[in-house]
Every structure is written in C-alpha cells, then in structure tokens.
C-alpha cells in the first residue's frame, strides 16, 4: 500500500503514485513507479525517506535539504561509491527499497581547510614531513610551519597568520614539494642558523613543557652541533619514524644523537642509563602489571638525570653507547655498568650497540675482527658517529625492537601472558619450544644481546674467534664439536659462556654460526627471568650460585660437571627440572 504520508515532503511523486500509472513513467521502465524506503545516512545521523523510485535525484535532494536544513548545493549523495547526479532517478541508480544512500553535507565554508582550523590540512600534508615537525616532539610542527610558508620573509611572524596564509595555498601531495623546499638554499640557510632554530624551538609551549620535564633537553638544544645533526636525522624518514614512535614519553630523542656527537653530553645519558635497570626490574617483577612494558620504556624515558653512583663509572667510560658498538671483545668493562648501559640502550629506542653486536656475533668473524681492531686501537668518537653502518644498524635495530616493544605496550595482555608463562615452568617449557622461532621473527635478539652480560658476550666473541681459527686450521675438529654444541646449546648462551670461561671448548660451540640466532631468543626470556630474579645474583658465576644443586646432581649420578651446570643454568637452579633436562640430553 503506498503511503499517503511520508516523512519527507515529496508531494509530487507520491501523488503520482497514488494516482496510479500516469504519464510520469521514465523511458525504459515497464512497471509502475513504486514506493521505496530509502535510508539517508550522514556521519551524524540518518533519516528514512519514503519516496517513489522514479524520483529524480534533484527532487530527492530537495526533500533532504528540507529535512536536514541545508541548501541543496551542499548535498552530496553517494550510493555504492557513486555520486548521484541530479538528473538521474533513484531507480536508474539502482536504489531499491531498504537501501542506504550516504549523504555528505558540505559545510558552508567549503572543505575542511578552514581558517578556524588551519592545522587540519597542514597536519594531513605533514604526513611525509613528519620528520621535520617531530624533530622537537609533538608540538614541533608549528614552528616549522612558518618556515615552510615564509621562505622569502623573515621568520618571527605570528603563527596563526602564517597558518592562515598556508591554508589558502593549495596543498597537494607535497612530499616532493617539501623536499624541494628543504633543498632551497634559503631554507638550508635558515635551518643552519642554529640560533634561529633554537629560538623557534624554545618558543613553542610544548617544547617548554618538555624542557621542564627534562632538563637535558635544554642542554641539548644549546648545542648547535646537535641541532644540525638532528636536522640531518629529520631527512631520514625511517629514522624519524623510530624517533617519534613514543610521543607520549618525555624523552628527548634528539638528545641521544646529540650526546653521541658531543663528548661532554654523554654524561646526561650516562646518568640516565643507571635509572633504567631499576625501573626495568620494578616493571618485570610485577608480572600482572598491565603496562609492563610501558613501565619498561618509561624507565628508559625517565632521563631525569638524577645522579647515580654507577654513573661515575659510566662517565669514565664515555662511549657508553659506543662500547656496545664494538662488542666488547677486547675491553674488560666493569660488570654492571655496561650491562645497565646495554639494557638502557636497547629499550631507549636505539639498540645501536645491540644490533651492532648482534650483527657481529651472528654474521661471523669478519666484522668482528675489524671492529675489535678498531676498538683496540682507538676509540674515536667522531669515527664511530660517522660510521654509516652504525646508523644503518641503528635504524633497523631500533625499528624492530621499538616496534616489538610498542606492540607489547599496546597489547599488554600479550605481555601479561608472556609473564604468566614464564611463571609457570611447564607452560614455560612449552612456550620455549615455540618461542625461538617466533622471537626470531620478531627480532627480539636485539633485546637479548642488549641485556646480555658483557663479559659473556665478550667471551662469546672470543669463542667465535677461536672457532673461526679452528675452522680454518683444523676443520676436521668441527664435526666433533657439533654434537657437543647441540647438547649444550639449550641453555642461555651468554650465561653459559660466562660459566664456560673456565672451559672454553665446552661453551665455545655455543656461540657458533647459526645456532646463535636460534638460541638468542631463548636466552631473552631467560635473561628477563634472570633480571627479574635479581641483577646482582646474575653477576655471580653460576657455579657459585648453583653449588648446592650441583652437589645434588653429582650425588644423583650425573657426573658431567659442565652438562650439569648448563642444565642448572637453563632451569635457573631448579634441580628437578635440571635432572629432566640432563636425562633428555642423555637419551638424545
């Protein structure tokens, strides 16, 4: 039954329908116009319209405009992705009963880029140019806008004015444009004018806030070298993505770079690294804590600069970040310092050292030896800083670690599950079987190495060297070593190597070749557990720690001292689990 009343006021077609078939039959239509219900949906609301299906779109629009109280010109009707043109009828467009037509009401001022909201389109277009904007954190976009806009005119003009002018300029896909602008000598000059940049940055309220939270930032900004370096960084979008990944944290990403190039600046970081282990442990020890890894990263970010006793040591070993680049084969570093630094490095958005170390240790000897040579000869800051390989490692390493951590932060239930698994030994065993490959995919090996005992990694690298020599001098020995390797390899290798310092052959094979990448992931969890268990405890050689258990094992009849030790290390001192492991390896 045709409705005589309708929500919309489209009298003509309805009447026509009421009157039955009349002359208004559009060409090509055989049946009488029927009444259809059409749902008109806007982002804000939706209304149902009952119309005849031979209503033209323009008539329909009129009805809609009355209903929605706007002009017909403002209406854009979209059906199945097609914009409805005025002269068509609903039937022609295939709009049948019960279908939904989308409506966009154009605002009177036109599309979103309005003077009142100048930052909308600017932000949209700043996508590719985030680098520049984010150099100084989230708020940094604004200072840059004036630069973009006022190439010929002096910078210190009012920002809203600039933004307004900006909005009037059409903004197409302007990545190339931005690149062009960057290239222009005026911009280059401006950007090189550190005083100006500094002023711009300082003037921004968010930056000021950042500085309040983080005194180091001010220090960093004072150094023109750092600024320049930062701007270079801005040109590398991959790097910048890494830098901006955690905008909610009051962390001066550029500060890290600056400190690297600036010898004196390391002090800030040196202090900060010390903070990390505490936060790290605090975070990990509470397995059900929701934002476990946020805590973790907050630790990394809380570069509050409070002095720490350990920082004294660190200040001496200035290249704290650098140390890890040259995986410390030739350099006996004091235990806690580099480990803390190592841990700080990994999560602190850059796992330079770890990725470097990993590259070295996993890719074999040649990079290792060259680095160790470098390391032994001279520790040159600029030398390291300019190393392109370094940056490469950095960006690749951090991206993965960062994204992994990001993932964990955003999915705290995942992290919680991980921690739960680690608490339950049976589940843990089960997980451990599966995790190596998983974690390998996730590139957590960075984290692992970062967390590793530096003495261990040092020993490990020595082992690699030894193995390399072995392989060249006496390749016949290798098959003999391999089974040993597999049997021992199950436990976390860094600890094993620390213990194995006594017997190089025993632990040697562990560090070898591709087993590295396999066992690293395993060791990550163990590392985490170990850390949770107690940092200082880890520093004691496992022999000392596990003496009573070792005794027990020997009493049970397991004579192989090393195998016992490995098993105990793997099970963290759990004698019965160690027994199971030993039995398993004996059987295999």
Least Å distance between CB 550 and other proteins? 34
Alpha-carbon 88 to chain mean position: 50
**CA 57 to CA 491: how far, in whole Å?**
73
Nearer to other proteins (CB atom), residue 442 or residue 530:
442
Q: Does 128 bind other proteins (CB under 8 A)?
A: yes
Least Å distance between CB 77 and other proteins? 10
Q: Does 426 bind other proteins (CB under 8 A)?
A: no
Least Å distance between CB 289 and other proteins? 11
* Closest CA relative to residue 217, chosen from 208, 225, 229: 208
* Binding residue (CB under 8 A) for other proteins from 246, 322, 325, 352: 246
Residues 442-461 that bind other proteins (CB under 8 A): 442
**CA 431 to CA 38: how far, in whole Å?**
54
Q: Does 205 bind other proteins (CB under 8 A)?
A: no
* Binding residue (CB under 8 A) for other proteins from 130, 266, 275, 572: 130
**CA 179 to CA 184: how far, in whole Å?**
9
Nearer to other proteins (CB atom), residue 410 or residue 586:
410
Q: Does 271 bind other proteins (CB under 8 A)?
A: no
**CA 561 to CA 581: how far, in whole Å?**
14
* Closest CA relative to residue 269, chosen from 199, 225, 224, 317: 317
Nearer to other proteins (CB atom), residue 180 or residue 540:
180
* Closest CA relative to residue 261, chosen from 306, 224, 313: 224
Residues 517-576 that bind other proteins (CB under 8 A): none
What's the sign of the alpha-carbon dihedral 82, 83, 85, 89? positive
**CA 570 to CA 526: how far, in whole Å?**
8
Nearer to other proteins (CB atom), residue 123 or residue 196:
123
Residue 543 burial by Cβ neighbours in a 10 Å radius (0-12, 13-18, 19+): middle
Contact 54, 91 (CB under 8 A): yes
Torsion of CA 154, 156, 159, 163, to 10 degrees: 10
**CA 446 to CA 452: how far, in whole Å?**
10
Count of C-beta atoms within a 10 Å radius of residue 346: 30
Residues that contact other proteins, how many (by CB under 8 A): 55
Three-state SS for 67-113 is: HHCCCHHHEEEEECCEECCCCCECCCCCCCCCCEEEEEECCCCCCCC
Q: Where are the beta strands (DSSP E) in 85-233?
A: 100-105
Contact 461, 361 (CB under 8 A): yes
Phi and psi dihedrals of 413, rounded to 5? -65, -30
Q: Does 112 bind other proteins (CB under 8 A)?
A: yes
Residues 391-420 that bind other proteins (CB under 8 A): 402-403, 406-407, 410-414, 416-417
**CA 140 to CA 132: how far, in whole Å?**
8
Contact 415, 290 (CB under 8 A): no
**CA 262 to CA 269: how far, in whole Å?**
11
Contact 346, 447 (CB under 8 A): yes
Q: Does 120 bind other proteins (CB under 8 A)?
A: yes
Nearer to other proteins (CB atom), residue 162 or residue 325:
162
**CA 340 to CA 518: how far, in whole Å?**
24
* Binding residue (CB under 8 A) for other proteins from 4, 23, 44, 536: 44
Q: Does 124 bind other proteins (CB under 8 A)?
A: yes
Q: Does 469 bind other proteins (CB under 8 A)?
A: no
Which DSSP state fits 114? -
Nearer to other proteins (CB atom), residue 126 or residue 448:
126
Q: Does 82 bind other proteins (CB under 8 A)?
A: yes
Least Å distance between CB 440 and other proteins? 11
Residues 137-176 that bind other proteins (CB under 8 A): 138, 141, 173, 175
Q: Does 119 bind other proteins (CB under 8 A)?
A: yes
Q: Does 80 bind other proteins (CB under 8 A)?
A: yes
Nearer to other proteins (CB atom), residue 6 or residue 351:
351
The structure tokens 């070593």 sit at 481
Q: Does 72 bind other proteins (CB under 8 A)?
A: no
Least Å distance between CB 154 and other proteins? 25
Q: Does 287 bind other proteins (CB under 8 A)?
A: no
Stretch binding other proteins (CB under 8 A), from 105-113, 277-285, 317-325, 580-588: 105-113
Nearer to other proteins (CB atom), residue 227 or residue 240:
240
Least Å distance between CB 416 and other proteins? 8
Nearer to other proteins (CB atom), residue 4 or residue 116:
116
Least Å distance between CB 466 and other proteins? 36
Nearer to other proteins (CB atom), residue 93 or residue 352:
93
Write out the residues near other proteins by the rule CB under 8 A: 42-44, 76, 78-83, 100, 102, 104-107, 111-112, 116-117, 119-120, 122-124, 126-128, 130, 138, 141, 173, 175, 241, 244-247, 290, 402-403, 406-407, 410-414, 416-417, 430, 434, 438, 441-442
């Amino acid at each position: 039954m045709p409705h005589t009343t309708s929500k919309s006021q489209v009298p003509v077609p309805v009447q026509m329908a009421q009157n039955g078939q009349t002359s208004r039959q559009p060409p090509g239509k055989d049946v009488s116009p029927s009444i259809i219900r059409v749902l008109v949906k806007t982002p804000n609301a939706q209304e149902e319209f009952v119309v005849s299906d031979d209503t033209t779109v323009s008539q329909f629009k009129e009805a809609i405009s009355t209903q929605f109280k706007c002009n017909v010109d403002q209406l854009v009707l979209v059906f199945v992705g097609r914009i409805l043109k005025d002269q068509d009828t609903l039937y022609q467009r295939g709009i049948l009963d019960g279908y939904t037509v989308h409506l966009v009401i154009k605002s009177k001022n036109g599309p979103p880029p309005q003077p009142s909201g100048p930052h909308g389109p600017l932000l949209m277009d700043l996508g590719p140019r985030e680098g520049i904007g984010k150099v100084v954190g989230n708020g940094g976009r604004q200072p840059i806008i004036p630069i973009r806009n006022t190439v010929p005119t002096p910078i210190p003009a009012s920002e809203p004015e600039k933004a307004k002018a900006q909005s009037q300029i059409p903004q197409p896909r302007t990545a190339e444009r931005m690149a062009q602008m960057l290239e222009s000598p005026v911009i280059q000059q401006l950007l090189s004018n550190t005083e100006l940049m500094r002023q711009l940055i300082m003037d921004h309220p968010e930056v000021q806030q950042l500085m309040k939270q983080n005194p180091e930032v001010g220090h960093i900004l004072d150094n023109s070298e750092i600024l320049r370096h930062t701007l270079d960084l801005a040109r590398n979008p991959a790097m910048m993505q890494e830098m901006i990944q955690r905008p909610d944290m009051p962390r001066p990403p550029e500060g890290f770079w600056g400190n690297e190039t600036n010898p004196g600046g390391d002090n800030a970081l040196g202090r900060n690294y010390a903070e990390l282990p505490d936060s790290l442990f605090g975070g990990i020890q509470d397995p059900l804590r929701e934002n476990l890894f946020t805590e973790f990263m907050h630790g990394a970010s809380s570069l509050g600069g409070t002095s720490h006793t350990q920082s004294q040591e660190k200040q001496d070993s200035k290249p704290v970040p650098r140390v890890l680049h040259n995986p410390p084969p030739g350099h006996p570093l004091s235990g806690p310092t580099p480990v803390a630094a190592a841990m700080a490095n990994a999560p602190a958005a850059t796992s330079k050292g770890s990725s470097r170390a990993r590259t070295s240790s996993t890719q074999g000897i040649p990079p290792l030896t060259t680095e160790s040579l470098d390391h032994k000869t001279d520790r040159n800051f600029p030398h390291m800083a300019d190393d392109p390989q370094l940056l490469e490692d950095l960006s690749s390493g951090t991206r993965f670690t960062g994204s992994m951590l990001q993932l964990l932060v955003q999915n705290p239930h995942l992290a919680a599950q991980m921690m739960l698994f680690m608490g339950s030994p049976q589940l843990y065993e089960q997980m451990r079987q599966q995790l190596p490959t998983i974690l390998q995919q996730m590139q957590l090996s960075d984290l692992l190495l970062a967390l590793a005992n530096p003495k261990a990694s040092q020993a490990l690298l020595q082992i690699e060297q030894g193995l390399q020599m072995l392989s060249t001098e006496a390749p016949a020995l290798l098959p003999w070593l391999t089974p040993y390797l597999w049997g021992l390899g199950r436990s976390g290798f860094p600890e094993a190597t620390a213990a194995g310092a006594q017997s190089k052959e025993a632990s040697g094979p562990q560090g070898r070749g591709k087993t590295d990448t396999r066992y690293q992931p395993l060791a990550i969890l163990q590392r985490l557990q170990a850390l949770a268990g107690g940092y200082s405890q880890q520093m004691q050689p496992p022999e000392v720690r596990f003496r009573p258990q070792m005794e027990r094992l020997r009493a049970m009849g397991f004579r192989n001292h090393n195998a016992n030790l490995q098993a105990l290390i793997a099970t963290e001192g759990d004698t019965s689990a160690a027994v199971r492991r030993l039995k398993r390896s004996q059987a295999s």
